[in-house]
């Protein structure tokens, strides 16, 4: 996998070993950022971060900061290694469950310009209620939530649907306030 655009364009990134993580492919990442436009100076929250590919892409494209939330310790170590290799700054890695991390972000009053949500494809339904509960409270007024799911799943959140598009086996759905 490579960074698609920005200051680290073309640089390779690593993914965690095993089948537990499904990194977002280059084509889907490129399409995602085409749908939402520039992210210069954005505060980004990358949920179910896995390899960190989406958040790393945002940082490469000029986002000011990114909080990576990933409960798997091995995956969190891969994100840290990718950040060090790419020499990207403004990143924090939170090694915990997404619901607990969102609850804390809401309690602290933190708001994000871009929230990237990429749960395991077979787990959307398991997480949908908690995401619906917390995401509106951590999304900034002009912010976007980008959800990647299986192409068969059409996610719903209590936010405005901007667009939903299929890319092979993936679906990218964009929400706003």
In a domain, 47, yes or no: yes
> Residue 139's pLDDT is what?
98
Residue 52: C-alpha distances to residues 11, 103, 111 (Å) = 14, 21, 20
CA 80, 81, 86: angle at the middle one, nearest 5? 100
Q: Is 84 exposed, middle or buried (0-12, 13-18, 19+ CB in 10 A)?
A: exposed
Residues of the chain with pLDDT under 50: 19
Q: How many domains does the chain have?
A: 1
pLDDT of residue 19: 47
We report the CATH number of the domain holding residue 81 as: 3.40.50.150
Query: Does residue 95 lie in a domain region?
Result: yes
What confidence score (pLDDT) does residue 18 get?
59
What are the phi and psi torsion angles at 18 (to 5°)? 95, 180
Residue 166 lies in a domain: yes
What pLDDT is attached to residue 26?
A: 79
Beta-carbon neighbour count of residue 150 at 10 Å?
14
Whether residue 1 lies inside any domain: the answer is: no
Query: Radius of gyration of the chain from Cα atoms?
Result: 14
Q: Is residue 67 part of a domain?
A: yes
* Of 25, 28, 60, residue with least CA distance to 44: 60
- Our measurement of the distance from residue 114's CA atom to the centroid of its chain's CA atoms, rounded to an integer in Å, reads 8
What pTM did the predictor assign? 0.94
pLDDT in tens, 131-165: 999 999 999 999 999 999 999 999 999 999 999 99
112-124 pLDDT tens trace? 999 999 999 889 9
What is the domain range of residue 120?
26-176
């Amino acid at each position: 996998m490579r960074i698609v655009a920005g200051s680290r364009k073309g640089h390779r990134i690593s993914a965690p070993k095993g089948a537990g993580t499904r990194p977002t492919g280059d084509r889907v990442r490129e399409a995602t950022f085409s749908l939402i436009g520039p992210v210069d100076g954005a505060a980004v929250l990358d949920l179910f971060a896995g390899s960190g590919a989406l958040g790393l892409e945002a940082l490469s494209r000029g986002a000011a900061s990114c909080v990576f939330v990933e409960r798997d310790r091995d995956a969190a170590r891969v994100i840290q290694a990718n950040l060090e290799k790419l020499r990207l700054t403004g990143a924090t890695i939170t090694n915990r469950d997404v619901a607990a991390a969102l609850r804390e972000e809401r309690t602290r009053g933190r708001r994000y310009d871009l929230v990237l949500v990429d749960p395991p494809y077979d787990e959307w339904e398991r997480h949908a209620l908690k995401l619906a509960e917390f995401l509106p409270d951590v999304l900034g007024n002009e912010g976007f939530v980008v959800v990647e799911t299986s192409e068969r799943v059409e996610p719903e959140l209590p936010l405005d649907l901007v667009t939903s598009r299929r890319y092979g086996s993936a679906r990218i759905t964009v929400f706003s306030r």
